[in-house]
Structure 1
Amino acid sequence: MRLNYAGIVPLSTVDWRGKAATTIFFRGCPLRCTYCQNHPYLHGLNPVDLDFVKDQIKKSKPFVSAVVFSGGEPLMQDAIVPLAEFVREVGLAIGIHTNGCYPGMANELVKRKLVDKFFIDIKAPPDNPKLYGKVTGYGEYEAVKKTPEQITASLIDTLEIVDSCGMELELRTTLIRDFIGSREEIASIAAWISENIKNKEVTYVLQQGIPEYSLRESLRETQVLEREELYELGRVAKNYLNDVRIRTKENGEEIIFDSM
């Protein structure tokens, strides 16, 4: 079996906080989020044999406790199942970064006990398909075939699957000034999570988007949201959720302790 391979980080401490991990990047994604920093991975083919990736994992195994599948969108690829089986066989934990568009594959991995933690992007309020479509490039990029309603429905299905099994879950929203991440939008996302996710200890992270690397050129001159601005938005989310964090280049990950 072959997979559409983008690359590997043999040792990462940022893709699964608290663990040393090997991160495998897959090519391909059904979305075109306009702020995406990994846009070189969104398209193109680089098929490699599964054994090649297994060998890369074996080389890193003495130094890591986990493997993270990222992209692109890893759940697009059927090869993720046998690859996860291999990771489980060699005794490493498995994390998945996903946009939530493939609930069927998420369910398959959960049923087979081939994942330990999901990291799921919530790009806008799930009950606002129009805004979700804007963020994910619907109508702007021909590659986005799913409608905003289909995208948000798949996301909600994926969240229900993960939430129902009590698995460790991190939800994240990337913020770009004047594009996504106003106080009202963050409050709406956090309120939706509070109302729809049974796991009240779910982690919600506000990520500092870096506009200069965006897929859309018009965003690249946008001023980065400062750490203090993200902190205040984190306090907004803290009104609804127990575990809220921000991630910035300046200070790394910070836990929000007080609400607004």
Structure 2
Amino acid sequence: MLKIGGFTPLSTTDWPGQLAAVVFVQGCPWRCHYCHNVELQTREGGLPGGWLQVLGTLARRQGLLDGVVFSGGEPTLDPELPDAIQTVRSMGFKVGLHTAGVYPDRLEAILPYVDWIGFDIKANFTDYEAITDIPRSGLPAWRSLQAVLQAVKHQGLALEIRTTWHPQLHRDDALLALAQALIEMGIQRWVLQPFRDAHIQTAEHAELSASWAPPSAELLQRLRDTGLTLELR
């Protein structure tokens, strides 16, 4: 049974343009320095009877919601995710997914059953370890993104590419290089979302909070000059 760390019965922001419920899957193998959901990193804990309760709520909201978003944590970590996706599809819901592309093979297997993906790109793929604290973590993310882009091309998968930005973790030149790499991959729209305070404040997170500053107008203009449609969230 899918291990649930949290549930939002109605959201208008987690899947742009859709009314969605959000299922937060417990567990993530990465340890991103700015992580907003630190409590979801381990596989311990979670909501007792969580998935059954979620299904009960969804059953009462058939015809009222457009879809269900699986978020996390990293939802592809859970081996029960494919069955959970099929269950909500059988209830008449569209399926959205938030992922960082940690498990390319698992992601590729479920892509035919997903309608929309919010794909988190942490940094340039060679710089992932500085964000995730996991060596070579950019390699699976790269593979996953290629699979997603193929699904966009061949099955009409809707895609949002986004990056969480903090001036201590993303140099201006590195961010510009990432923008150029996205353009070269055929990506036209990029969501840049600011670092946000976490529910659980670690010492590292408190330090990032103290040093946070928004991107300068000059940097934003240089990013737009690459040709990307840039959205700030």
TM range (shorter): 0.7 to 0.9
With structure 2 as the length reference, what TM-score do the two structures score?
0.87
Q: In the alignment, what sits opposite 2:117?
A: 118
Q: Is the 8 A contact 2:62 2:92 kept in 1?
A: no
Tell me the equivalent position of 1:251.
none
Normalised by the length of structure 1, the TM-score is 0.79
Cα offsets for 1:94-136 (capped at 9, x unmatched): 11101111111111112xx21011111111111x2xx311211
Total equivalences in the alignment: 225
Cα 1:10/1:49, change in 2 over 3 Å? closer
Residue 182 of structure 2 is matched in structure 1 by 193
2:10–2:20: 8 Å Cα contact kept in structure 1?
yes
**Residue 208 of structure 1, CA deviation:** 1.0
Retained in 1: the 8 A contact 2:2–2:84? no
CA deviations 1:3-47 (Å, max 9, x no partner) are: 221111000011011111100001100101011110011111436
Partner of 1:107: 108
Q: Aligned residue for 1:206?
A: 192
Is 1:184 the counterpart of 2:169? The answer is no
How far apart are the structure 1 equivalents of 2:130 and 2:72?
Answer: 21
Contact 2:38/2:198 (<8 A) preserved: no
AA in 2 matched with 1:163? L
Matched with 2:226 is: 240
Task: Give the secondary structure class of the aligned counterpart of 1:180.
Answer: coil
Quickly say closer, same or farther: Cα 1:192–1:214, change in 2 above 3 A.
farther
Q: Distance in 2 between matches of 1:49 and 1:19?
A: 23
Residues 225 and 58 of structure 1, relative CA distance in 2, 3 Å threshold: farther
Cα distance in 2 for residues equivalent to 1:219 and 1:48: 31
The residue aligned with 1:82 is 83
In structure 2, distance between residues paired with 1:241 and 1:57: 41
Contact 2:95 2:114 in 1 (8 A): yes
**Percent identity over paired residues:** 27
Q: SS at the partner of 1:156?
A: helix
- The residue that corresponds to 1:4 in the other structure is 3
Task: Give the corresponding residue for 2:165.
Answer: 175
Deviation at 1:172, TM superposition (A): 1.0
Unaligned runs of 5+ in 2: none
Which residue is 2:149 aligned to? Answer: 163
Aligned to 2:73: 72
Tell me, yes or no, if the aligned pair for 1:97 and 1:118 is still in contact at 8 Å.
Answer: yes
Specify every segment of 5 or more residues in structure 1 that has no aligned partner in the other structure, as ranges.
139-146, 248-260
Displacement of 1:215 after TM fit?
A: 5.7
